[in-house]
Structure 1
Amino acid sequence: MLLAVALLTGLGLALLWPNAGEAAKVIERVPFAGPGTIFVEGEVVSVDTGCGDGTQPRTGAATSGADPDRSCLTIGIGITSGPDTGRVIDVPARGSLASSGLQPRDTVELLGAPRAEPPAGDPRASDGAASERYSYSISGIHRGLALVVLSALFLVVLLAVGRLRGLLALGALALSGGVILAFVLPAIVTGAPGALVGIVGSFAIVFIILYPVHGPNLRTTAALVGTLCGILITAGISTLAVHATRLSGLGDEAAARLSGVAGSIDFRGMLTCAIIIAGLGVLNDVTITQASAVWELRAAAPHLGRGEIAKRAMRIGRDHIASTVYTIVFAYAGASLGVLILLALTDRPLLSTLTGDDLVTEIVRTLCGSIGLVLAMPITTWIAAAFLPPVETGTETAAQLE
């Protein structure tokens, strides 16, 4: 059966694989920057309060207040690349950029928009202004060093605790990222059905990572079957929920911006795909844990029958599910904290707030992922119990049950 599912997954990848030409056309339509725009690097040399344009300098209250848009800084930046290398400019920073904590010697990315050349005979054409061909603004902050340090810490902790399993998990993570980047994202961009892309992409990820990381044995096979069932349940429930709640898939700023430049995207399908993939990691965690619980129970009590072991494993699973469900809720709440705060500050009736597009999207994500997760637990438990060998006399170890 699993071989047939694997073949169908491969067929799905072949049929849904995005056309590189179509994806390139969509990319060309996205106006990342205007014609003549350049990107250069710069180093912060000074940070001063106020913007020199009538904006009041920040006070302690303004800096820590709830309205960051009122804060303004003047950032002195020395340009270190591009045609204006060596030039020092003052760039205003407002809102989130002003609140980011920029300090001297930080590296930033600058967007240079070409200035209109003064007409012939204009006095500005003969002075230094003519050499200032670009008007610069800060387009990003280089965070490479901090990310490298954090990534190195993650690797050290993972390998120190997980050892070989941790190393295998890193490889699986890289392969999963490859599936998402090479298949899921381009397929969504070119208008493929989001639910099918989510199912096929998730199936491919599960087949790629489970056996290499956890070993080719019956325990892993039971977890694999349970995970596949959970994916299908999540896909079905989320498809129905997105349509029943009349969600457009345009609830966040990124999706709204995409709608203006990539009209081929099925945004409701994209939301469904996002729900499926978002729940994949925790779903896999539950199924692997349940399959392992069944095997360890048999190793600890080889005289117990499959039914009794399944019942005991279900008790373990209920505790795991209880903690996992609120883990999902907290994860979504943390990721959407800004939206929740904004809604809390909005003077609207509770029912109106709860049924708003932003909040309903997060509720649907949480509930659909949780339903698939909860139902995958008993499915995995009973499948794993069915895979157990019959009760035999004598003592068996967990390794002998593989």
Structure 2
Amino acid sequence: MSHTHDHGGPAPASRAVVVGLAAVMAALFVATVIAVVMLWPSTGDLPAKRPVLYEGAEQVTATVVAIENPGSLQDGQNAEVVVRLDDSGEQTTIELSPTIASDDIIGASVRLVATPGGTETSGLPSYLFLDFHRGVPLLALAAVFAIAVVAVARVKGFAALCGLVGALAMIWFFTLPALLAGRPSLLVALVTASAVLFIVVYLAHGVSVKSSTALLGTFAGIALVTALAAWAIPASHLTPGVSEEMSQLAYYAPLVDVRGVLLCGMVLGGVGVLNDVTITQASSVWELRAAAPHDTRWKIFARAMRIGRDHIASTVYTIAFAYVGGALGLLLLASTLDHKLADLVTYDEIAEELVSIAVASIGLVLTIPLTTAIAAAMAGGPRPEETAEETPAREDPPAPTPDQSYWSELRG
């Protein structure tokens, strides 16, 4: 009488594979730490901090009470806005441009610049609008985001949030100072990407063969993105220094390589999307292996690539729309020019966005099969059968076409 023994899942990766993968990841981690230490800038390497306000001025907070001449907004003129100073309770009037002033600013908290002796008649301070206070809505959005992530993903969600905080801290305390100090932008980009990936992957997904496989695939993808960006930026003759922000940056921090900043931005932009697809592909391979422990590695790879192709199809336009959304104002302004579309897309600022989209998309497309192949090799081989009599050979039925599946459901 024949019977089948269930071993509880696929055969695990061999000890040699586990030890080899651990050695590779340990070497990458140590290299990343050493590079961070060597590239870390000293305080003397950084440009001096610039004051936010000019000498003698101070920042005060106020609440918008009313708009005295709302009709002027329709004529495109500045509006006189009454505000109440939070520290003294006194009311004063400031001017706001029609792009800022609207009915919904009444009750809003604003920041003003007070200049002592600003008015000649009274000698009292004059006030200029600086910005809105946005702390409350930003904290509310952050709280809702954190609660939603933890409620749905639970422990992994909390770990992912911790990883996000660690990654942002890495960028603020290392990447930005290193670029300001004139450190090689290519090395800064690679080291930042490596450190961020170690933080977010191992915190959110734990240290395992599966997460290490996804991390290895992401490293390969980042290397592709970096190589493409390093070639595409000079080949396209992109000149980010002509933009207002970059020209100011070059003035106040002369050691900064503006093209290097663009390169670093493209690499960091690829980190998030590549990590997303590599984790998904690695998880898909492990789930497929657990569901079909007898299948060959090639069959697991082929099935996981069906998922990967869907992921490519959806993520490519996700990348494009993310960049388009961020540059919508620029695109609107460009659309008002009397130019052919083929000429518009070659202008520097628009070309920067297109190169970023192309670099991230090519890296994504090539990283998915690479990560899937690595995961299929690492997830363990097919589980051996007990005997020919105990475990009969089985063949998977051909996958139904979408039409067959649809009509089967209707008949059911």
TM-score range, shorter chain: 0.7 to 0.9
Rounded Cα–Cα distance in structure 2 between residues aligned with 1:349 and 1:292: 46
Equivalence for 2:281: 290
Equivalence for 2:60: 40
| CA deviation vs aligned residue, 1:241-265 (integer Å, no higher than 9, x gap) | 1111111223644323322322221
Give the match's secondary structure for 1:43: strand
Equivalence for 2:300: 309
Give the match's secondary structure for 1:391: coil
CA contact (8 A) 2:179 2:256 kept: yes
Q: CA deviation at 1:115?
A: 4.1
1:158-307 equivalent positions in 2, closer than 5 A:
158-250=149-241, 252-307=243-298
CA contact (8 A) 2:112 2:131 kept: yes
Q: CA deviation at 1:335?
A: 0.7
Equivalence for 1:109: 111
Correspondent of 2:91 among 88, 92, 101: 88
Q: CA deviation at 1:8?
A: 1.3
Rounded Cα–Cα distance in structure 1 between residues aligned with 2:159 and 2:310: 28
**Which structure 2 segments of 5+ residues have no match?**
1-23, 387-412
CA contact (8 A) 2:159 2:203 kept: yes
Q: CA deviation at 1:393?
A: 3.3
Rounded Cα–Cα distance in structure 1 between residues aligned with 2:164 and 2:77: 40
Rounded Cα–Cα distance in structure 2 between residues aligned with 1:346 and 1:8: 49
Equivalent AA in structure 1 for residue 311 of structure 2:
H
Rounded Cα–Cα distance in structure 2 between residues aligned with 1:284 and 1:295: 17
CA contact (8 A) 2:62 2:83 kept: yes
Rounded Cα–Cα distance in structure 2 between residues aligned with 1:329 and 1:186: 29
The alignment status of 1:391 with 2:391, answered yes or no, reads: no
| CA deviation vs aligned residue, 1:263-321 (integer Å, no higher than 9, x gap) | 22111000000111112111100000011111111111111111111121112101101
Equivalence for 2:9: none
Equivalent AA in structure 1 for residue 256 of structure 2:
I
Q: CA deviation at 1:100?
A: 8.4
Give the match's secondary structure for 1:108: strand
Rounded Cα–Cα distance in structure 2 between residues aligned with 1:271 and 1:113: 38
Equivalent AA in structure 2 for residue 12 of structure 1:
A
Rounded Cα–Cα distance in structure 2 between residues aligned with 1:283 and 1:73: 48
Number of residue pairs matched by the alignment: 363
Equivalence for 1:361: 352
Name which of structure 1's ranges 256-265 and 188-197 shifts more when overlaid on structure 2. 256-265
Rounded Cα–Cα distance in structure 1 between residues aligned with 2:77 and 2:356: 35
How does the TM-score come out when normalised to structure 1?
0.86
More contact order relative to length (CA 8 Å, sep ≥ 6)? 2
Give the match's secondary structure for 2:66: strand
CA contact (8 A) 2:119 2:126 kept: no
Equivalence for 1:53: none
Q: CA deviation at 1:394?
A: 6.0
Correspondent of 2:146 among 139, 152, 155: 155
Equivalence for 1:58: 73
Q: CA deviation at 1:186?
A: 0.8
Rounded Cα–Cα distance in structure 1 between residues aligned with 2:297 and 2:68: 71
Rounded Cα–Cα distance in structure 1 between residues aligned with 2:95 and 2:369: 58
Name which of structure 1's ranges 385-394 and 135-144 shifts more when overlaid on structure 2. 385-394
Q: CA deviation at 1:165?
A: 1.1
CA spacing shift, 1:299–1:100, aligned 2, 3 Å: farther
Equivalence for 1:121: none
Equivalence for 2:18: none
**Which structure 1 segments of 5+ residues have no match?**
51-55, 63-69, 119-123, 396-402
Equivalence for 2:83: 77
CA contact (8 A) 1:195 1:270 kept: no
| CA deviation vs aligned residue, 1:125-158 (integer Å, no higher than 9, x gap) | xxxx12x1x3211101112221222222212211
Equivalent AA in structure 1 for residue 195 of structure 2:
A
CA contact (8 A) 1:47 1:102 kept: no
Rounded Cα–Cα distance in structure 1 between residues aligned with 2:385 and 2:110: 68
Rounded Cα–Cα distance in structure 2 between residues aligned with 1:43 and 1:300: 61
Rounded Cα–Cα distance in structure 1 between residues aligned with 2:333 and 2:225: 29
Rounded Cα–Cα distance in structure 1 between residues aligned with 2:373 and 2:257: 37
Q: CA deviation at 1:209?
A: 1.9
Rounded Cα–Cα distance in structure 1 between residues aligned with 2:367 and 2:103: 42
Rounded Cα–Cα distance in structure 2 between residues aligned with 1:42 and 1:232: 50
Equivalent AA in structure 1 for residue 61 of structure 2:
E
| CA deviation vs aligned residue, 1:66-121 (integer Å, no higher than 9, x gap) | xxxx253211112223xxx3432211100432258311x32110012344697xxx
| CA deviation vs aligned residue, 1:218-241 (integer Å, no higher than 9, x gap) | 111110100111111111111111
| CA deviation vs aligned residue, 1:142-185 (integer Å, no higher than 9, x gap) | 12221222222212211111111111111101100110111011
Q: CA deviation at 1:324?
A: 0.4
Give the CA RMSD over aligned residues: 1.9
The alignment status of 1:135 with 2:126, answered yes or no, reads: yes
Equivalence for 1:65: none
CA contact (8 A) 1:194 1:271 kept: no
Rounded Cα–Cα distance in structure 2 between residues aligned with 1:393 and 1:171: 41
